[in-house]
Structure 1
Amino acid sequence: MANAQSILLHQYGNSPFSEKVRLALRLKNLAWGKVEIPTIMPKPDLMPLTGGYRRTPVMQIGGDIYCDTALILRMIEARFPERALGFGGHEGVQSMVASWTDKQWFQTTVGLVFGSLGEHISEEFKADRSAMSGRKFDTEKMKLSVPLLMDQWRAQLSWVEERLQASKSSGIGDWLLGSKPGLTDIHAHMNIWFLNKNLPQMTREFLRDAPRTEDWFDRLNAISGPEPEEVSSADALEIAKNSAPRLLAATVGTEPQGLAPGDHVSVAPDDYGQVWVTGELVSAQPNKITLFKVENAIESLHIHFPRAGYLVRKVES
């Protein structure tokens, strides 16, 4: 039964960013709990955990809430170091790869998926994604762009194929950066997984010209791990209310804005889903910022965000 030590992933099945975390959990053979959340707003049982942050997935461990896949993967590695997914000598590379897969390649994939399937997408979903992105979610416009996006998608797929060929030729192995799968493989897998989930025939046509990538993709998909426990959102909320976050020193590094522990600050993504989450600053480091006593959330939680890809501003009391 899930408790304050359990990994709880607030997610839904077709979420590509959730699949990144699910794959990491399988690779590390970790037990975890699955909390199904709606694909569109409202998400009433998630907001008390995040103070308004709405993107998927969110990871909860007791009274600690981790927002954004980039931070979630780093924290899984830090808190559960066995079966490490990062490799010495490649520090930072996985984050650089993630920036490409999560933005440039993902936007191409989104255009292909929704441009091809637009007639099957509900008006509620379109309205929700329009509100999240701040611009019209125009599947008709995406449809016109599908031939151009196919060219772009194939070009980016070829980079994975080139990397796998180089790994094999140099004797490194059958994975992107080593003799076993790691974070870089997880990041590169996401867009192929999402396209294959929605447009399997198109995906396999692309992969026919990338045989090493097709083999690599199928091997990653075949990796299994513990089946997740199904946890209700109500139970996840109870765990959060009755758990204390891990002790965390109230510290900051060199902060360009001169932030200090105890300051009232707001945090939001810099691209889409830009909802400002406001609370008391606990810790600010180059790659993570932590808030306490967050507005519209359970007061005792620590809510953690990455720094890259997020805006932070000081709020005058």
Structure 2
Amino acid sequence: MANAQSIILHQFERSPFSEKIRLALRMKNLAWSAVEIPSIMPKPDLIPLTGGYRRTPVMQIGADIYCDTQLMLPELERRFQLPALDLPGHEGLAKMVGAWVDTKWFQTSVGVIFGEVGDKMPKEFIEDRTKMSGRPFDVDAMKAAAPILRDQWRTQLMWIEERLDGGRHAGTGDWLVGTKPGLIDVHAFMNPWFVEKNVPDFLERCFEDAPLTRSWYGRLKDFRGQAPEEISGQDAIDVAHSAAPRLKPASTAHDLRDFEPGERVAIAPDDYAKDWVEGDLVIANAERVIIARQDDRADNLHVHFPRVGYVLRRV
């Protein structure tokens, strides 16, 4: 049964960002627990933990709640150092690659996929994504844009092919940087996986011009780790309630906006799903924001957000 030291991933099977974390867990061969959450609102057992943040996935360890995969991966590296994924040559560069695949390439993937299958989506899904994005879920516009986006998607895949070809000629192995797979490979894997799940024929066509990328992708898919323990959302809330956030000294040293520990603040993504999460500021630095929250069901929590891609304001 999951406890205060367990990794709990709130996710759903077809979520590409969840797969990014699942791949890292497999590569590190870590034990973990899975909470299957809905792909659309409401998410009644997630919101008590996050305070309103609704994106997928969310990672929980005890009463510490991690929002956004750009924080989850370095947290896994800090807590579980072997085998390492933040390898020599990946430092900093992995975050840069992650920023590309999570935004530009992911948005292109969304256009390719929904240009193909958007008219097959349930009404509830369309309504949820319209509300989340703040703009209409326009299937006709997606279909019209799909040919252009398919071209752009393949071009971005070919960047991986170019990198692998360069490594092959340099004799540095079969991975994007160096002789071992690491965080850069984890980030880059996500969009091909997402496309294969939804429009596999398109991915296969792209692979015709990218044989090194096809092999690289297959090697990453072959990683086998520990099967997750399936638990309920209430189980995860019970874990948080019986735990305490990991002790961290409150600090906003060198913060550019002069926030102070203990200030009442709110934070939200800067692009879509702008659900503000309120709490008392614990840490604000160049990497992350941690706010303290109290919930009737989950008790005392620390909710962690990355600084990039999020807006922090005083309440």
Normalising by structure 1, we get a TM-score of: 0.97
Does residue 1:308 correspond to 2:308, yes or no?
Answer: yes
**SS in structure 2 at match of 1:154:** helix
**SS in structure 1 at match of 2:137:** coil
Percent of paired sites with the same residue: 54
Residue matched to 2:42: 42
Instruction: Tell me how far 1:255 sits from its aligned partner.
Output: 1.4
Instruction: Tell me how far 1:299 sits from its aligned partner.
Output: 4.2
**SS in structure 2 at match of 1:14:** coil
1:276-291 map, 5 Å:
276-291=276-291
| Kept after mapping to 1: 8 A contact 2:252/2:258 | no
1:208-223 map, 5 Å:
208-223=208-223
Q: Which moved more, 1:1-10 or 1:88-97?
A: 88-97
Q: Distance in 2 between matches of 1:115 and 1:89?
A: 37
Write out per-residue CA displacement over residues 209-236 of structure 1, whole angstroms, 9 at most, x where no aligned residue: 1000000001100110000010111111
Q: Distance in 2 between matches of 1:254 and 1:279?
A: 21
**SS in structure 1 at match of 2:272:** coil
Residue matched to 2:206: 206
Write out per-residue CA displacement over residues 112-165 of structure 1, whole angstroms, 9 at most, x where no aligned residue: 111101221011101111111111111221011111111101110110000011
1:1-317 map, 5 Å:
1-293=1-293, 298-315=298-315
Which of structure 1's runs of 4+ aligned residues deviate more than 3 A? 294-299
CA-atom RMSD, angstroms? 1.1
Instruction: Tell me how far 1:202 sits from its aligned partner.
Output: 1.0
Q: Distance in 2 between matches of 1:295 and 1:250?
A: 20
Please, which runs of 5 or more residues in structure 1 have no aligned partner?
none
Q: Distance in 1 between matches of 2:148 and 2:253?
A: 45
**Compared with structure 1, are the counterparts of its residues 296 and 154 closer, same or farther at alpha carbon in structure 2 (3 Å cutoff)?**
farther
**SS in structure 1 at match of 2:13:** coil
| Kept after mapping to 1: 8 A contact 2:29/2:225 | yes
Q: Distance in 2 between matches of 1:299 and 1:242?
A: 8
Write out per-residue CA displacement over residues 80-135 of structure 1, whole angstroms, 9 at most, x where no aligned residue: 11111112243110110011101101111001111101221011101111111111
**Compared with structure 1, are the counterparts of its residues 37 and 70 closer, same or farther at alpha carbon in structure 2 (3 Å cutoff)?**
same
Normalising by structure 2, we get a TM-score of: 0.98
**SS in structure 1 at match of 2:304:** strand
**Compared with structure 1, are the counterparts of its residues 210 and 89 closer, same or farther at alpha carbon in structure 2 (3 Å cutoff)?**
closer
Q: Distance in 2 between matches of 1:229 and 1:26?
A: 14
**SS in structure 2 at match of 1:293:** strand
Q: Distance in 2 between matches of 1:252 and 1:226?
A: 38
Instruction: Tell me how far 1:245 sits from its aligned partner.
Output: 1.0
